Amino acid sequence: MQPGSDGWQPLHPLSPLLRAGRMLAVIAVAATQSIGAFLDGGFITVIAVLVAVLFSSAYGYVAWLFMRFRMQDEHIELREGILFRSHKRVPLARLETVDILRPVLARIFGVAEVRVELAGSKGSELRLRYLSEKDAVATREKLLSAHAAESPAPTPADFPGYEVFKQTSPEVVVAAVKTSDLILGYAAAQIAIPVFVFVIGDAVVAVVSWQAALVALVSVGAVMITWLFAVVALIEKSWGFRLSESDGGFAIRRGLLNLLTQKVPLHRVQAVRIVTPLIWRPFKRSRLVVDIAGYGDERGAEKQASSVLLPIGPPESVRAILNKVFPDLELTDVEFQMPPRIARWRAPFFWRTYGVAWTPTFAITRAGVFKRNIDVVPHRKIQSLRITNGPWQKRLGLATLHVDTAGNNVNSAAKHRQIAQTYKLALASRAADQAD
């Protein structure tokens, strides 16, 4: 659509319809019930449904009239709302990424959502819902071009892999996830172990009382069905996952019903976590999770999917991605230091899994039995260092060093170390940051 003389242009006319998806579902159910009511002579129900449809349509049309956005030389603006007006103005200099989302219903009508993320923000600051797919791509390109003109180009000091992504080049796929790995891996990690534990527990209960076992089977079965839907949602959002090189970082394409084209600026990666569930270890599969400034406010499956650089993959895929993010990192050369033996009184079953490795560039920690996590945080990305020791730790002469970054997906910590060592690690990290 062409902008007006003042630069304001409307969103797609179907935007109110697509944004009111849940309300439409309720109206559809009511309309279905009204058919039976009409056959039984219940004309009042039919009239009520028709009034609801007409009112919703009129309200949606008026709401669309108030939906406008425009791009200026230094910012992008969005106005919406009828009773409660909203006017958002986003400086292009703070723009971090521009993603394109294509939910299943939007794809049917040929429209898409443009999601603008800002540096230093914990969520989506501005969403253009919806534009035609052609306009969405054009708007994204205009925003990125305007941002490039407004903001200075990154320098090698911004992130170690700058030279790798300095020039825009044809798409080079760094990693792609096999469908079989995705389905079997997520199903095994999220469902297999809980089902196994439940079956064993139910069998034990059945020895005492088969009635109690039957009740437990029915009640827990409902919970497992809900859990299954959550796993399906995770698989759907990671379906067809493909990670490619992009100018300044990575480009991610994922989703089966809800397609997302996402860009991950390399210099915004705060920390990386390598997750290896116990059931994945025999197959040598891991997941890569990252903290990215500006991606901390989604919820549920969307939050988990937005923070993933690799849903599941073999060691060579993990190594290839890590080499792009942290070119000077080689985990195979890292030797982890275990906590002192006295830590077994604080964590008798897990103390051997806690490991720490401080290099001149990175703070690396390891933890977990059933789900092993290896966290890698560059010293220069650390926001703060906290030393805590509870009553039990204090009695044993232990403490925990927490490594805080600008994110909430990777919570790195050197657990249950001697108090003197935690201070030594903190000072070493600060010295490395200043030297960098």
User: What tens digit of pLDDT does each residue of 14-33 get?
Assistant: 888 787 765 666 666 656 65
Mean pLDDT of 386-404: 95
Label residue 105 by pLDDT band (50, 70, 90).
confident
The CA distance from 136 to 114, in Å, is 6
What length does the chain have? 436
What is the residue-wise DSSP string for 255-285?
Answer: -SSSEEEEEEEGGGEEEEEEEEEGGGGGGT-
**pLDDT for the residue 341:** 94
Of the segments 69-78, 80-89, 281-290, which one has the largest average pLDDT value? 281-290
Among the residue ranges 145-149, 245-249, 406-410, 424-428, the one predicted with the least confidence is: 145-149
Higher pLDDT, 374 or 213: 374
Q: Tell me which range, 85-89, 145-149, 217-221, 311-315, is most confidently predicted by mean pLDDT.
A: 311-315
Q: For residue 124, what pLDDT is reported?
A: 55
pLDDT at 62 > cutoff 50: yes
pLDDT value, residue 159: 46
Tokens read off for 386: 């906290």
Lowest mean pLDDT among 29-38, 267-276, 287-296: 29-38
Mean pLDDT of all residues in 42-59: 72
Distance of alpha carbon 295 from alpha carbon 408, whole angstroms: 9
CA gap 414, 404 in Å, rounded: 12
Lowest-pLDDT range of 67-76, 165-174, 339-348, 413-422: 165-174
Q: Supply angle C-alpha 189, 194, 196, rounded to 5.
A: 105
Nearest to 324 by CA among 180, 170, 160: 160
* Beta sheet of 398-404, edge-to-edge order: 384-388, 398-404, 412-418
Residue-by-residue DSSP string for 132-145? EHHHHHHHHHHHHH
For residue 168, the model assigns a pLDDT of: 45
**354 burial via Cβ count (<10 Å: 0-12, 13-18, 19+):** buried
Helix (H) or strand (E) holding 190: none
How is residue 85 written in tokens?
A: 């007006």
Least confident of 60-64, 154-158, 302-306, 427-431: 154-158
Digit-coded pLDDT (tens) for 214-238: 766 666 666 677 777 878 888 898 9
Q: State yes or no: pLDDT of 76 exceeds 50.
A: yes
The SS3 of residue 390 is coil
pLDDT of 300 over the 90 cut: no
pLDDT in tens, 188-219: 777 666 666 666 766 666 667 767 667 666 66
Residue 196 CA to residue 216 CA, distance in Å, equals: 14
Instruction: Supply the pLDDT for residue 5.
Output: 63
Give the residue, 370 or 206, on which the prediction is more confident: 370
**Beta strand segments in 293-421, E:** 308-313, 355-358, 362-367, 371-378, 384-388, 398-404, 412-418
At residue 367, the pLDDT reads: 95
**Minimum mean pLDDT range among 160-169, 302-311, 363-372:** 160-169
**How many CB atoms are closer than 10 A to CB 51?**
10
- Looking at the predicted structure, is the pLDDT value of residue 103 above 80? yes
Consecutive H or E run containing 205: helix 193-208
Crossing angle of the two packed helices 210-238 and 193-208, in degrees rounded to 10: 170
pTM (2 d.p.)? 0.79
- Range picked from 32-41, 99-108, 149-158, 222-231 for highest mean pLDDT: 99-108
What are the pLDDT digits (tens) for 158-189? 544 444 444 444 568 999 999 999 988 887 77
Mean pLDDT score of the chain:
82
Query: What does the pLDDT average to over 378-405?
Result: 94
Share of the chain above pLDDT 70, in %: 75
